[in-house]
Chain A
Amino acid sequence: MLYVVLLFLMISLLLYVILAGADFGAGIVELFSTKKSQQITKKTVYRVMGPVWEANHIWIIILVVILWVGFPEFYNVLTVYLHIPLTLVLLGITMRGVAFVFRHYDAYKDKSQILYDWMFRISSFLTPIFLGMTAGSMLSGELIITQDYEGFTFYELFIKPWFNGFSILIGLFFASLCTFLTSILLIGEAEGTDRPIYVKKSRNATIAVILLGFIVLSYGLIYNIVFVTEFLKNPYTISLVLLSAVLIFPLLKSIKQARKIISRSLAGLQVVLILIAAIVTHFPNLIITSNSQISILETAAVDEAINVLGMSLIIGGLIILPGLFHLFKSFKMIKVLEK
């Protein structure tokens, strides 16, 4: 049952990264657009994301619940030592959700829209960065797990783990992944004449992802970050990343030909491959601190709790997934299914 729970953890993580990632990306694409294409993007995004964006973000709640129920000590490390970046993530999620609602449900469309728009764009940009920073700090090797709180400074324990070059780079990398996902999604959704805008954006986003990925790895090598050195040594990881890299060529070709089904599947697959590569590198040690590594398997709760959690997830999944699928289908979110 432990592996069922882990599978659900993995699925929710991937779905959150892809679905919410595309959602964050929507705000980032808007942020980096000219005034005219901003309005086009805003309209398209609402049409595509409107019915599903709330559902997209529930994956993080599922993720958190699985962690705290199934892997309480693992979650404990995150909540105690990454309190500040997680709070920043929360702040971003809140501002973003509020801005999204306001800009679409305000009865009067007047100047206040400008405020909502900027709130939406900026929080869409910052939230994935903070999320990436949180993930980065789990792997940065800067975390200090201790009972002796008085032996360290506030900075060493609660700030340095996430506020360092590596974590920030991972944050930027994740934000670029989100942009990458959305711009490719939007190619297929935009009206014919607007398509070239997103084709161009997709190309820029792809370049940003490659560039940042390269910078992250070089930074890790230069500063000797355990995660990166092992990432580059692991044959599985390398082959997954290479596969993802090779896929860029068919992706660029499909972007050029504006073939949305193939380009979307490829983009999604690439992100999944990169994530799996990152997880495989060190599995099951998903937290690397300054002097030790924490295995998620060793922090698993007692069997009774895991069994009940696994059963709840299976039953919940059986109810939710068909409903979610139907929702996506009804509002033509997955055009792949139609053609």
Chain B
Amino acid sequence: MDPFSLKISLYKVPLQYYFKSFLMDNLDAARLQMAFTLIFHIIFACIGMVMPFFMIVAHKKWLNTKNPIYLKLTKSWQKGVAIFFVIGAVSGTALSFELGLLWPEFMKHAGPIIGMPFSLEGAAFFVEAIALGFYLYGWGKIPEKFHWFTGVIVGIAGVSSGILVVSANGWMNAPSGFDYINGEFLNIDPIKALLNPAWFTQALHMVLAAFTATGFAVAGVHAYQVYKKRQTDLHKKAFKIAITFGAIAAILQPISGDLSAKDIAERQPVKLAAMEAHYETKKGVPLYIGGIVDAEKQEVSYKIEIPKALSFLAFGDFDAEVKGLNDFPEDVRPNVAIVHYAFQTMVGIGTLLLVIGLLFFISLKKKTWWDNTKFWLLFTLLAPMGFIALEAGWIVTEVGRQPWIIHNIMKTKDAVTPMPGMIYSFYMYVTLYSILTVAVTWLMIRQIKSLNNSKLA
């Protein structure tokens, strides 16, 4: 007899009972948990991936000018990088487990096919951790130039990891590198899977989005400090470095967005139709801006219509035919309202940030703007915008892919774990990540406070 077995009657309830009460929402709970962890991880990972670039620019300026403000700034940013790297790393470790824990059937089949981006990502991540070890602890211990260069490696390795992970996601949208015959994955070619048709457009869009979101967020935090007139010298310099990255990325983003739209129109027409809440297949389709979706009546009200624009954006031809949702069986359509609203949010904010990015470059010529408190208030208010757009973009691509986990091959409901009670796991993760967020925010506030209270040499 096993002395440790618990003889509580609850455990003797047949599994069937759990299934009846949980099976319905087990899938939803698993999806919610995945969405929730990804939403958090993306923020931590993006900041951890982009901030090293701000840090090495400040560091370079310190090496060139020997202005102690830049040294102070570099060292403050490096703390931010370290904190976000670790939080990104632990939430990333959690995700790498969750892929298997939540979607065991998916990983069983997809693992060997998309193993390559993941194993390379592991390698890139390792390089990043090593380089970061050198950078953080190398002050005054290793040659100056080599020390700076390790910071560059941190940045490059971080972006490479990001690209590789997005490539794995691209494969779920554009599965390739295998033949699917009678429910079996044959003739596996991992390199072809890595270089799937979606990898480039998705990775480009994501990298630019990460730079935009982090650039505006970091600039916003420093703008607020200038607005509050705390250590303005330092915070103006910090603002300028961060916003330059953010603004350039925001200005380039529409080009990448256009590539993505054309790509999706070809590969995942149902996703495009959902993004635009476009129900009937037509030629010369207008583009809807905003609007409220009525899924039952298949109508979009209160929208602004730009004639023939969708046909042009999707196919480069004003009279091209765009497939509508009604051309697809109901069980392969994503949730139209969510995808449409998320898409509108992303494009709306993206456009706003593009305009603000241009304004920033004009402000470089009109120095008086920089003395106006409203200028700083504006950038403070914009701080979270990039991340809202970035999350909305991921909702478009992920919810838009449903009901498939591997587009046209495997449905999400067939991949979920057979273990019941996922809703409790979801609650646990919500609690954990909420605490994490509060804690990291608190830590950051304390960092900035201490920076403001310190004397500059």
The segment out of A153-161, A191-199, A227-235, A261-269 that lies at the interface is: A153-161
B3 and A94 within 8 A (CB): no
> How many angstroms between the C-alpha atoms of A101 and B136 in the bound complex?
13
Which residues of the partner chain B approach A243 to less than 8 Å between Cβ atoms? none
What 1/0 mask marks residues of chain B from 1 to 27 whose CB sits below 8 Å from any chain A CB? 011111000011111101100000000
Interface mask (B78-101 → A, CB under 8 Å = 1, otherwise 0): 010011011101111110111111
Of the listed stretches B241-249, B306-314, B416-424, name the one at the interface; the rest are far from the partner chain: B416-424
Q: In the complex the two chains form, is A61's CB within 8 Å of B90's CB?
A: no
Chain A 53-73, CB-CB to B under 8 Å as 1, else 0, gives 011011011101110111011
A313 within 8 A of B: yes
Tell me which residues across on chain B come within 8 A of A302, comparing CB atoms.
112, 188
A331 at the interface (CB under 8 A from B): yes
User: How far is it, in angstroms, between the C-alpha of A114 and the C-alpha of B7 when the chains are bound?
Assistant: 38
With an 8 A cutoff between CB atoms, is A107 at the interface? yes
Q: Is A298 among interface residues, defined by CB-CB distance under 8 A? A: no
- Decide: A312 and B447 in contact? CB cutoff 8 A: no
Contact, CB under 8 Å: A101 / B2: no
What is the count of residue pairs linking A and B with beta-carbon distances less than 8 angstroms? Answer: 233
- A54 touches which one: B12, B16, B132 (CB < 8 A)? B132
Q: Is the CB of A55 within 8 A of B12?
A: no
B135, closest chain A residue (CB) = A51
Q: Residue B295 at the A interface, CB < 8 A? A: no
Q: Is the pair A61, B93 in contact by a Cβ cutoff of 8 Å?
A: yes
B316 within 8 A of A: no
Of the 9-residue stretches B102-110, B232-240, B327-335, B395-403, which lies at the interface with chain A? Answer: B102-110
Q: Quick one: which of B109-149 are within 8 Å of A by CB?
A: 109, 111-113, 115-116, 118-120, 122-123, 125-127, 129-134, 136-138, 141-142
The answer to whether A309 has its CB under 8 Å from any CB of chain B is yes
A108 close to chain B: CB less than 8 A? yes
A57 touches B93 (CB 8 A): yes
Contact at B87–A163, with CB atoms within 8 Å? no
Q: For B141, list chain A residues within 8 Å (CB).
A: 330
Q: Is the CB of B120 within 8 A of A312?
A: yes
- The answer to whether B130 touches A305 (Cβ under 8 A) is no
In contact, B93 and A93 (Cβ under 8 angstroms): yes
A75 touches B450 (CB 8 A): no
| Contact of A305 with B112 in the complex, beta carbons under 8 Å | yes
Cβ contacts under 8 Å, B19 to chain A:
149-150
Contact A327:B130 (CB < 8 A) given known A76-B107, A87-B101, A320-B123: yes
With A153-B11, A155-B12 known to touch, is A61 a contact of B122 (CB < 8 Å)? Answer: yes
Contact status B127-A319, CB under 8 Å: yes
CA of A87 to CA of B137, assembled, Å: 32
Nearest chain-A residue to B123 (Cβ)? A316
The closest CB in chain B to the CB of A74 belongs to B108
Contact A72 B111 (CB under 8 A): yes
Q: How far is the CA of A65 from the CA of B100 in the complex (A)?
A: 10
Are the CB atoms of A55 and B129 closer together than 8 Å? yes
Closest to B419 in A: A83
Contact with B along A304-337 (1 / 0, CB 8 A): 1100110011011001100110010011000000
- Contact of B449 with A by CB under 8 A: yes
Would A65 and B122 count as touching, CB distance under 8 A? yes
Contacts of A69 in B (CB 8 A): 111-112, 115-116, 118-119
Closest chain A CB from B76 CB (angstroms): 9
Please indicate the chain A residues that have their CB under 8 angstroms from the CB of B18 in the complex: 154
Chain B residue at minimal CB-CB distance from A152: B15
**Contact with A55, one of B87, B108, B130 (Cβ below 8 angstroms):** B130
A99 nearest CB neighbor, chain B only = B439
B362 interface contact, C-beta 8 A? no
Contact with B along A215-229 (1 / 0, CB 8 A): 000000001000000
A91 within 8 A of B: yes
Tell whether A70 pairs with B14 under 8 Å between CB atoms, given A60-B93, A100-B86, A165-B4: no
Q: Is the CB of B421 within 8 A of A313?
A: no
Tell me which of A91, A93, A98, A305 contacts B113 (CB under 8 A).
A305
A308: nearest residue on chain B (CB-CB)?
B190
The chain B residue with its CB closest to the CB of A301 is B112
Chain A residues with CB below 8 A from B282, complex form: none
Does B79 lie within 8 Å of A105, measured CB to CB? yes
**A292 in contact (CB, < 8 A):** no
In angstroms, Cα B48 to Cα A97, docked, is 15
Q: B443 on the interface (CB 8 Å rule)?
A: yes
Residue of A nearest to B153 (CB): A323
A94-B11 CB under 8 A given contacts A79-B417, A86-B101, A160-B5 = no
CB distance from A250 to the nearest CB of B (A): 33
Residues of B417-438 contacting chain A, CB below 8 A: 417-421, 425, 428, 432, 436
A58-B125, A98-B86, A164-B2 known; A79 vs B130 contact (CB < 8 Å) = no
Contacts of A94 in B (CB 8 A): 90-91, 93-94, 432, 436
Q: Name the A residues within 8 Å of B123 (CB-CB).
A: 312, 315-316, 319-320
In this assembly, does A31 line the interface, its C-beta being within 8 Å of a C-beta of chain B? no
Residues of B within 8 A of A320 (CB): 123, 126-127, 130
A303 to chain B, nearest CB (A): 9
Interchain CB contact under 8 A, B125 and A150: no
Q: Is B303 an interface residue (CB 8 A)?
A: no
B126 vs chain A, min Cβ distance (A): 5
The 5 A-B pairs at the shortest CB distance, nearest first, are namely A69-B115, A155-B11, A316-B123, A107-B450, A305-B112
A residues lining the B interface (CB < 8 Å) = 50-52, 54-55, 57-58, 60-62, 64-66, 68-70, 72-73, 75-76, 78-80, 83, 86-87, 90-91, 93-94, 97-98, 100-102, 105-108, 149-155, 157-160, 163-165, 168, 223, 301-302, 304-305, 308-309, 312-313, 315-316, 319-320, 323-324, 327, 330-331
Q: Apart from A76-B100, A324-B130, what 16 extra A-B contacts exist at CB < 8 Å?
A: A51-B136, A54-B86, A61-B122, A61-B125, A64-B96, A69-B119, A75-B107, A76-B108, A87-B101, A90-B93, A90-B97, A157-B419, A305-B112, A305-B113, A320-B127, A331-B133
Q: Jot down 14 A-B pairs with beta carbons below 8 A, ordered by A.
A: A75-B111, A76-B108, A87-B97, A93-B93, A97-B89, A153-B14, A164-B4, A301-B188, A305-B113, A308-B115, A316-B119, A324-B130, A327-B134, A330-B141
